[in-house]
Structure 1
Amino acid sequence: MTREALEKLTYQKYGDSPTIRSYTKWKLFEENSPLKLPTEAKAGEVLVRGHVTLSGSEASFDLPNGVELTEGTLGLSQPEESRILGFHFYALKKAYRLKIRENLAEPLVIVSHLSERAFISHHLSIEVENARVPIIIYDMAEDGTKSFVVELKARNAEIELLTIGKHKSLSHYLLRASLAGKSRVKAFTVVHGGRMSHHREDYSLEGAGSELFLRGIPIGIGSAVDYLTNVLQHGEKTVSETRVHGFSYRDGWTVHRGTAKVFERARNSSSVVVSEVTIMDEGSLGVSVPMLEVDTGEIENASHSSSVRQFDEDALFYLRSRGLDREEALSLFVHGIGEALSSHLERLRSKARSSVMSLTEELL
């Protein structure tokens, strides 16, 4: 990606309609792009120990048995797609690739971290075939601008994926996943927005009978997060269920845009998109935009719903009547968000619970 080619790219190729407009404050990324910031940074202090640790411009690996490391990408994302991906590939120094062909008993922990004022790109590809694999991804941006792209190919695989985003500065995250064979993915995401966090997850269900269950919690507490989920169903009898509940608090800014498309050949499939945003106080913003498109008349189930609501004042009154002040009551509620998310996990339960709960403790 050359500087000249970058100049021709835009952040979004579509019109500015209420359903497909971008809510990300791209001007901030433009002001803190790799054209204006250094593209090298030292590794910072990472509190989480990972099997893969990408911090600043440095990378370290302590891989378990059954995981093979090479270099390169899977080609699921291209720089020509958008200006932010153009920036990503322009600043990218090296991409890494993992191959997994056997079951992992413990979660594979991946860390992406930046703590210096720079524009840093991290790129990791993961191939899983005929295996059961739990994965935890920590996405942390303390300073500068960080772009993290994860490419995932699954074939006849079962994957439990927990993503924890904790940001203070600018963050761009893209997960691009392809599910072939009869693959099954259970994905759980919690993102605490920073100055501006653009978090996107794309899933393509290509194999007949492949399944995706996605749960997401974007949280804007005095911060901004634009959370996008896109599901494309190509294979017959595929199942997708996306349920996102976002929260905005203390002048926070939380957006969820969720899209699901069932193609004509995806007969007898099921697709659900549920999008909710709770605004917890005055001055905060919440946006919920689910979309569902079905090209076949042979559909098992198809539904979508949206809601943006104020925090339940009755629940708040109940907690305050038990002696808690407003801040304590809302703090207890936000802690409950982490508990609700971690309770979904089975094999990851112990580690995920401690991770998510420690995250919410630090947010308040």
Structure 2
Amino acid sequence: MTSPDVTEVNDVNGPESAGDPRANEAAGGAAGVAPVPAQEELAEASSAAGGGWSADGADGSGAVTDHSRAQLEDEAIALPSGGEKAEKATRAHRARSFEVSDFERPSTKMEEWRFTPLRVMAPLFEDAATDVRGEDDHPVMYEVETPAEIAVGTLAPGEAPRGTALVPESLVSAVASERCADALHLKAAKNTEIAEPARVAVAGQGADRRGNAHIVLETEESSVATFVVHHTGSAQFAENVELIVGANSQMTVIALQDWDDDALHIATHHAKLGRDARLKHIVVSLGGRAVRVDVIGELVEPGAEIENLGLYFADADQYLEHRLFVDHAAPRCTSNSTYKGALQGKGARSVWVGDVLIRKEAEGTNTYELNRNLVLTEGARADSVPNLEIETGEIEGAGHAAATGRFDDEQLFYLRARGIPEIEARRLVVRGFFAELIQQIDVPEIREHLSDAIEAELARSMN
């Protein structure tokens, strides 16, 4: 089965110097996605200040829609007009502070919140304490299972290394930081290579209960470790995850949002990488009423590398948002981001925003970001906004691509002509769409869990 051509937007130096984005289409890549045309419109929309674009395939038209002035009345979302006060041009200028009072409540006039359903997420914008009702009655319960080589402890606010990488950039993150007295700290010691992953199970105890959390994951110099953070149950959960990746170390982080249907969750994952460090960051969002995960990666020393992978599956009336920011602040660093999502059911909604900043001192940068969305039923909608900010011409390669589409009727016809029933043919297309990402997860039980979860999601719409 031949994958269709993909719509690519704003390739600066082309695939040969940007990690070859076509390689990202292997093992199913964009299988079944009918690509969205009109590259010029996409490039114009993605580069416009305050603008955004989405190739909505829900109506089968594949048309490109510029949402820069859309009025989303059902979610109370409206964008500022050109006459209103403009935000600073570069993503790096966003305010950072531990003081809750330094942040305004999110509004539709703020670029970083313009897609988010603010009324739904409203409980998380309150400066509310963690709802502890007894010594053993917390809004979220933690179960930590680690290999012997992982040191487990807690960190108070201001106690290093807490706060050395993550300084809040939003109200929710600031509240989570201030309201969490003891941050969970997991550390791989210098020169240790740990084969088994460290696991943190986070179980919500009720949709009406507020939780605030701060987790610090650290790999010291020349160490190798994997961390899994798995969210289940239900809560109103504000969370910070701070990643400190020491020089020449390798960290893998897998964050699973497996919440019940009524959970609210806003998380900030903030990583800082040392010289020749490598981070593989994986986000999987399947459950929750509304979930938003912000992933920030700072490449502050030469030779650092970050790989961002994401998989999400939105159902009816479910909102899933993922925002990435990769800050290339040192020479000869590499970043690649690949996020893929599927949507089904009326009111299913996903948003992906990818920002990459290449600073003037970041010569030799090589970066690429890719987002693909597969719309399975009528009434679902996906928005993708890829952005590049480049302050130096001395780079190896930089580019991005994004597309949203429905099933490719020609591929379905090809499979059905060979005796495969339509329902099974559709399953094969979706499996192929996600296969590339699942195969890159090095924890076998998580790969199995994701395959089972995708099958369960498909059973809802295809049976």
What is the TM-score of this pair, normalised by structure 1?
A: 0.84
Q: Distance in 1 between matches of 2:110 and 2:413?
A: 40
- Corresponding residue for 1:137? 229
Contact conserved, 2:131 with 2:139, CA < 8 A, in 1? no
1:148–1:336: structure 2 CA closer, same or farther, 3 Å change rule?
farther
Contact conserved, 1:273 with 1:291, CA < 8 A, in 2? no
1:133–1:99: structure 2 CA closer, same or farther, 3 Å change rule?
same
- Corresponding residue for 1:22? 114
Q: Distance in 2 between matches of 1:62 and 1:245?
A: 29
Structure 1 residue 300: Cα displacement: 0.7
Instruction: Give CA deviations for 1:301-342 in whole Å, capped at 9, x if unaligned.
Output: 01112222223233344555645355x554554444554322
- Max radius of gyration: which structure? 2
1:266–1:331: structure 2 CA closer, same or farther, 3 Å change rule?
same
User: Secondary structure of 1:315's partner?
Assistant: helix
Match runs of 1:1-364 below 5 Å: 9-12=103-106, 15-16=109-110, 20-31=112-123, 39-40=131-132, 56-72=139-155, 74-75=162-163, 76-78=165-167, 81-89=169-177, 91-101=179-189, 102-116=192-206, 117-129=208-220, 130-140=222-232, 142-155=233-246, 156-167=248-259, 168=261, 169-222=263-316, 223-251=318-346, 252-319=348-415, 322=419, 324-326=421-423, 329-336=425-432, 339-345=435-441, 348-364=442-458
Contact conserved, 1:217 with 1:246, CA < 8 A, in 2? yes
Structure 1 residue 264: Cα displacement: 0.9
Q: Distance in 2 between matches of 1:312 and 1:43?
A: 55
1:190–1:228: structure 2 CA closer, same or farther, 3 Å change rule?
same
Q: Which runs of 5+ in 2 are unaligned?
A: 1-98, 459-463
- Structure 2 letter corresponding to 1:230: F
- Corresponding residue for 1:51? none
Q: Which runs of 5+ in 1 are unaligned?
A: 45-53
Which has more strand, going by share of residues?
1
- Structure 2 letter corresponding to 1:256: W
Stretch of structure 1 that moved more, 181-190 or 258-267: 181-190
Contact conserved, 2:241 with 2:269, CA < 8 A, in 1? yes
Structure 1 residue 113: Cα displacement: 2.1
Structure 1 residue 62: Cα displacement: 3.8
Instruction: Give CA deviations for 1:72-108 in whole Å, capped at 9, x if unaligned.
Output: 26213345x3222244245435311122112111111
Stretch of structure 1 that moved more, 32-41 or 274-283: 32-41
- Structure 1 letter corresponding to 2:188: I
Q: Distance in 1 between matches of 2:266 and 2:338?
A: 22
Structure 1 residue 207: Cα displacement: 1.5
Q: Distance in 2 between matches of 1:42 and 1:225?
A: 32
- Structure 2 letter corresponding to 1:115: Q
Instruction: Give CA deviations for 1:143-162 in whole Å, capped at 9, x if unaligned.
Output: 23122221010112112232
Stretch of structure 1 that moved more, 30-39 or 246-255: 30-39
Contact conserved, 1:41 with 1:57, CA < 8 A, in 2? no
Structure 1 residue 363: Cα displacement: 3.3
- Structure 2 letter corresponding to 1:225: L
Q: Distance in 1 between matches of 2:443 and 2:103?
A: 42
Contact conserved, 1:193 with 1:224, CA < 8 A, in 2? no
User: Secondary structure of 1:106's partner?
Assistant: coil
Q: Distance in 2 between matches of 1:35 and 1:287?
A: 29
Contact conserved, 1:177 with 1:204, CA < 8 A, in 2? yes
Contact conserved, 1:112 with 1:122, CA < 8 A, in 2? no
Instruction: Give CA deviations for 1:214-256 in whole Å, capped at 9, x if unaligned.
Output: 2212221221101111100111100011122222211211111
User: Secondary structure of 1:27's partner?
Assistant: helix
- Corresponding residue for 2:32? none
Q: Distance in 2 between matches of 1:303 and 1:353?
A: 29
Say what the alpha-carbon RMSD is for the aligned residues. 2.9
What is the TM-score of this pair, normalised by structure 2?
A: 0.67
Q: Distance in 1 between matches of 2:127 and 2:223?
A: 41
Q: Distance in 2 between matches of 1:195 and 1:14?
A: 20
Q: Distance in 2 between matches of 1:12 and 1:313?
A: 41
Contact conserved, 2:386 with 2:402, CA < 8 A, in 1? yes
Alignment: residue pair count: 344
User: Secondary structure of 1:265's partner?
Assistant: coil
- Structure 2 letter corresponding to 1:178: K
Stretch of structure 1 that moved more, 218-227 or 281-290: 218-227
- Structure 2 letter corresponding to 1:135: F
